[in-house]
Chains A and B, each alone.
Chain A
Amino acid sequence: MTPRRLLVAALALLAAAALLLSFGEREPAPTERARVDFPTHMREPEAERSERRATLTLPAPPPEAGQPAPAPQPRDPFLVGLPVKPGEPIVVFEANALRHSRLGELFVGCVLARDPRAFSGIEDELGIDPLKDLDRVAFVGDAVVVSGFFDRFKPERLERDARPEPHGDAGQLWIPEPGPEGSAARTAFALWKDQLLLASTDPEDLRRAIDQLEGRAPVPDAGIPEDMAYGEVYGIIPGAAARRFFGSDARGLGERLATVASRIEVHADATSDLAAVVRVRGEDAAGISDLARSLGAALSVARVEAQATDDRQFAELLESARVVDGEGALSLELAVPAERLEAWFQGCGPAHTAVAPAEGAPGDGGPAR
């Protein structure tokens, strides 16, 4: 080939390179994974939400000798009304915030795709729209406490089994007659001020909850303090209940956890990514540190096993798993990025039309109505 032809070929190749590189150019793909924001502390919107929810003024405790009477502090009625018993776990779901989260929308879309009447059926029977009227749901031992708007609540369904009886200033109880001996305990219900709906197999739980709300019974210390109410799911598992929760495993981690943990806090954030923090506190700092290492190793082994058995969902969950060993406490952090959440729900039908987060948007402190 002559030099002239080579130069012409060079020009043609240069033009081809320019065309290919320019027309094939796209936004550079990120080289790092998106950072997950773990719920390690109460953030500003959650602090504002907590402040808005503090609407219940309880009588101030009696002053100490020679001291002026302390001013009564407004509190969150939902947290005050939890019928907590020592040693029982408490888990709270911010139902309204969860419903408006990415995970919630995917979940609701999935449920509706399978059964379009899944939620409207409940509304027809009880007068409560689970998608709009619920704010929070707490599981406290054997009791369930639900907050929200219950002004349209239809008690007819409850009155089939029990006659309504008033309790305190604003409480209403539906306690069914006990069944024949040996049969399962029947569930009793209570409604307080059209704001809180409670259910338990032990009617004493319901009476105590209303008494706590109306200042006739002390609010238990074992409950959830306001500054711990952050994330879309939060709760406390006392050390004694940990063994029951975490069961037994080959490495004996559940038992070791129950031995060293005096209290386990759980916080999960589902606003965008699904991120959870499990904080284990205990007196034995060396034991906690040892447990942190064992947990880290167990998570790593579990991830390798999940990869080996092609269990992609579990492997993805463990991808961002981390154990942070603090002084006398360890934090286990788990996360699923939002795009992977969507991948998990693929094939579950089209997502339900997103409800615009209005009054009851996450962090707003109340349901959409």
Chain B
Amino acid sequence: MTSSPGNVLAVARDLLREARARRWTLALLAGVTALLLLAAFGLELEVVDGALAASRFFGRPSHGGITAADVALRPLFEAVAYMVFYGGTLFGVLACADFAPALLAPGRIEHLLSLPVRRAELVLGTFLGVELLVLAGAVYGGLGLALIVAAKTGVFGWAPVAAAALGAVGFTGVYAVMMAAAMVARSAALSAAAGAVVWVAGIVAGNRAAIAPLFEPGLARAVFLALTAPLPRLSELGRHAARVANGLPLDPAQLAVQAGGTALFAAAALAVALALFERKDF
């Protein structure tokens, strides 16, 4: 029997409702809002007919020449894109570590399994809910900053939004492993640790061509390359967002390879999570 999309969405909706009630999620949201307010009040950008004549951050001049505002703002959008991408995925690791363990909490899981919902639907629904939460958080931060800059300069940059979307793509691989870890032991700490390891490993994997020569040719290098081969290329995905920020064309073939590879890795980790879940008796 196949999973019902309706059930998967219902589980995801429940998760989002639960997230809204959590203080931890609200605190992180407040942190992002504080950063946005800091940018809104601290950044002074003087634009004359679409050219950036001067920029100041809390009174300190930070720009020398007069140039087209969208060109001058590229470094800012690049920084924001990286912040949204890496900050968004890290936010996901911290804020969402508890969702899968909470799903398996005694009492709750028995109740859920008594409903006409399959185990696979529970896993997929939780995964989808967390993905939507991370995407919403990243879009809130990225789009918020893009809108603040647009209000001050008239220039709207898509890079933070692209970074949020790419961050959500990269996070699929991270969170799938976090779910599998939660199935091994019902622990938010273990889930977060597994997520952090994949997050760092994904950054390393994105730079593996540059790192590989640091290993001795032979077994050490082969093991490094084999271990990093299936990992999501997180840093590569982040670079695509930086290219958008700098007005450079995207490489659709590379983007498709990296997004496709990440999806396959996430599917593999979810399959492991489901296999472990299926083996459990409640």
Contacts and interface: CB of A to CB of B under 8 A. Distances in A.
Contacts of A2: 278
Interface string A288-312: 0000110111111101100000000
Given A28-B236, A301-B50, A321-B68, A9 B257 contact: no
Interface in B42-74: 48-53, 64-69, 71
B66 A323 contact: yes
A157 interface: no
B272 A297 contact: no
Contacts of B76: none
A178 to B, nearest CB: 51
Interface stretch (B104-112, B129-137, B193-201, B243-251): B243-251
B268 A297 contact: no
B248 A299 contact: no
Interface string A8-21: 01111111111011
A320 interface: yes
Contacts of A303: 50, 68
B264 A17 contact: yes
A300 B66 CA distance: 9
Contact of A14 (B67, B69, B242, B265): B265
Given A28-B236, A28-B239, A297-B49, A20 B261 contact: yes
Contacts of B257: 20-21, 24-25
A322 B65 contact: yes
A160 interface: no
A3 B246 contact: no
A78 to B, nearest CB: 33
B21 interface: no
A24 B51 contact: no
Given A320-B71, A323-B67, A9 B264 contact: no
Interface residues of A, number: 49
A301 B48 CA distance: 10
Contacts of B239: 28-29, 31
A35 interface: no
Interface residues of B, number: 52
| Interface majority SS (helix, strand, loop, mixed), chain A | helix
Interface in B201-238: 205-207, 209, 225-226, 229-233, 236
Contacts of B48: 293, 296-297
A17 B261 contact: yes
A129 to B, nearest CB: 41
Nearest to B1: A1
B258 interface: yes
Nearest to B243: A31
Contacts of A3: 275-276, 278-279
Contacts of A6: 271-272, 274-275, 278
A7 B71 contact: no
Contacts of A18: 226, 229-230
Contacts of B246: 31-33
Given A10-B268, A31-B78, A297-B48, A325 B258 contact: no
A324 interface: yes
A300 B68 contact: yes
Contacts of A297: 48-51, 53, 66
Contact of A296 (B67, B248, B272): B67
* Most chain B CB within a 10 A radius of its CB, from A21, A22, A33, A298: A21
A297 B154 CA distance: 14
A7 B275 contact: yes
Nearest to A251: B49
A319 interface: yes
A3 B276 CA distance: 7
Interface string B249-282: 0010110011011101101110110111011000
A300 B51 contact: yes
Contacts of B243: 29, 31
Contacts of A319: 68, 71, 247
A21 B258 contact: yes
Given A29-B239, A323-B67, A10 B269 contact: yes
Contacts of B69: 300
B2 to A, nearest CB: 10
The 10 closest A-B pairs by CB, nearest first: A296-B66, A24-B257, A297-B49, A13-B268, A21-B261, A17-B264, A6-B275, A10-B271, A300-B51, A18-B229
Interface of B: 48-53, 64-69, 71, 78, 205-207, 209, 225-226, 229-233, 236, 239, 242-243, 246-248, 251, 253-254, 257-258, 260-262, 264-265, 267-269, 271-272, 274-276, 278-279
Given A20-B257, A21-B258, A28-B209, 14 more contacts: A3-B279, A6-B274, A7-B272, A13-B264, A21-B233, A24-B257, A28-B206, A28-B239, A296-B53, A299-B68, A304-B68, A320-B71, A324-B64, A333-B65
21 contacts: A3-B275, A3-B276, A3-B279, A4-B275, A6-B274, A7-B272, A18-B230, A21-B233, A21-B257, A27-B209, A28-B236, A293-B51, A296-B52, A299-B51, A300-B51, A300-B67, A301-B50, A303-B68, A304-B50, A319-B68, A325-B65
